[in-house]
Structure 1
Amino acid sequence: MKTVLILGANSDVAKQCIKQYLAKGFSVIAASRNMTSLEDFIDTSNLDRNRINVLYFDAANFDSHQKFYADLPVKPHIVVYAAGFLVDNQKALTDFKGAMQMMEVNYMGGVSILNHIVMDQNNKNLERIIGLSSLSGVRGRKSNFVYGSTKAAFTQYLAGLRQELSSRKIIVNALVIGYIRTKINEGLELNESLMMEPDYVARYVVNAGNTFTIVPNFKWKIIYHILRLLPEGLVAKLP
């Protein structure tokens, strides 16, 4: 039985990934700071506890990452980095603590733990790493460029990691995601017609193929390509 390690497993998308990986016959190591919420989710969803390990993981506690990985009950075949943190852009500009927390969770924590994982060449199981990124990282926009910069950095890290691991036949995917109906977006004024459900996005994670950049939903694919090609003068007019 193959094992998937989900880091930041308390996110709404990650919880749906747990369900879908179990349905595909995987065992799951679900790692998060909020273990109570994960345990409640497992109980209320009637998931097979014999195939789930719930572990404590703090993305921003870099010093703990090496021991966390060394103590895993089994080394994973697939790793999903789903940890995320968001504060309003104006708050990030005036309160560096909020900006720093986004950097630590969205980018630095991912680099820290994934480096430990990929440098373990004794783990012959490892076959795929999937990172959850965002369309906010495609181009800098004045409404969310601090958050977007953390996602842009993470995407570039994953791109280089894909090249680094290609000789070992390990696939790296970046999910470049638009608006999702999740707790992290509660209270934000977002275009309802572009909202995706967590289980919909999770299907793209669980069924990731060989392509590096995966953009769920055809509307977001169009937006992704427009953003990449849009002249700087027009990007400056976006919110």
Structure 2
Amino acid sequence: MNQSTKKTVLILGANSDVAKQAIKQYIEKGFSVIAASRNTKSLDEFVQENNFGSKVKVLSFDSVDFDSHQKFYDELPIKPHIVVYAAGFLIDNEKALNDFNGAQQMMFVNYMGAVSILNIIATDKNNKNLKRIIGLSSLSGVRGRKSNFVYGSTKAAFTTYLAGLRQELVSRNIKVNALVIGYIRTKINEGLQLNESLIMEPEYVAKHIVNAGNSFTIVPNFKWKLIYLILKVLPEVLVAKLP
């Protein structure tokens, strides 16, 4: 497959552990990748360590610098066939309750930044390449729980946005997927007391990104699928008893 016929994936927030695994797997499938993040130094090192060469283009992208998003998109070397929004930010719920700056940062990164850049991408009808948009959401957004409802609210908003975007783009045959994820062994979860039997590896989650199909909601791992279904139907009086 020569460079001119390769499909291109744009990964926003490409410095996460899951995103880096997705980069590897997309390249294995013959895609070229535009990896965008605030921390371009770390991405450059990742590209060099894996000898990706021209298969990966590293660009600077700040999800909370909303005013820069249009310029970022306009200057892309090629308009993408697939877009993955993988940027995320998490702080402890207690801190989020008492420090609005931290809560606001979660809103900016997890929801507002996504809406800002994805609106720009989705409304570009001149991009005939675009075939799929994938957003990384969370089980935390399925129901409000007292242990993480501030973070969860940002993910719930993102999932709702993606659901509407899917309807908006169906006439153009552009698929939209929401990856609703549980615990992952990543930097964002370091130091948290998590059930080891429920923790997924970044490579496993990335496989579900790269192989996304027609279903809107993708929940990796059968245990998390079961938890997702239970959370959806659990009476509020029982949800209130959850941590």
TM-score bin, normalised by smaller chain: over 0.9
Are 1:138 and 2:146 matched, yes or no? Answer: no
- Equivalent residue, structure 1, for 2:26: 21
Give deviations 1:43-93, integer Å, cap 9, x for gaps: 2223x2111110000000000000000000000000000000000000000
Q: Counterparts of 1:78-157 in structure 2 under 5 Å?
A: 78-157=82-161
Aligned with 2:180: secondary structure?
strand
- d(CA) in 1 for partners of 2:42, 2:240: 40
Give deviations 1:127-176, integer Å, cap 9, x for gaps: 00000000000000000000000000000000000000000000000000
Aligned with 2:70: secondary structure?
helix
- Equivalent residue, structure 1, for 2:16: 11
- Equivalent residue, structure 2, for 1:218: 222
Are 1:56 and 2:60 matched, yes or no? Answer: yes
Q: Percent identity?
A: 78
Amino acid in the other structure paired with 2:29: K
- d(CA) in 2 for partners of 1:45, 1:238: 43
- Equivalent residue, structure 2, for 1:198: 202
The counterpart of 1:75, out of the listed 79, 85, 99, is 79
- d(CA) in 2 for partners of 1:123, 1:34: 27
Give deviations 1:76-113, integer Å, cap 9, x for gaps: 00000000000000000000000000000000000000
Structure 1: give runs of 5+ residues left out of the alignment: none
Shift of 1:15: 0.3
- d(CA) in 2 for partners of 1:45, 1:140: 40
**RMSD of the alignment, in Å?**
0.5
Are 1:166 and 2:170 matched, yes or no? Answer: yes
- Equivalent residue, structure 1, for 2:3: none
Are 1:33 and 2:25 matched, yes or no? Answer: no
- d(CA) in 2 for partners of 1:52, 1:192: 33
- d(CA) in 1 for partners of 2:94, 2:128: 45
Aligned with 2:133: secondary structure?
strand
Amino acid in the other structure paired with 1:143: S
Aligned with 1:79: secondary structure?
strand
- d(CA) in 2 for partners of 1:217, 1:232: 25
- d(CA) in 1 for partners of 2:203, 2:10: 18
Please, what TM-score do these two structures have when normalized by structure 1?
Answer: 0.99
Shift of 1:40: 1.2
Runs (4+) of structure 1 exceeding 4 A deviation are none
Shift of 1:188: 0.2
- Equivalent residue, structure 2, for 1:209: 213
Structure 2: give runs of 5+ residues left out of the alignment: 1-5
- Equivalent residue, structure 2, for 1:182: 186
When the two structures are aligned, how many residues end up with a matched partner?
A: 238
Please, what TM-score do these two structures have when normalized by structure 2?
Answer: 0.97
Aligned with 1:155: secondary structure?
helix
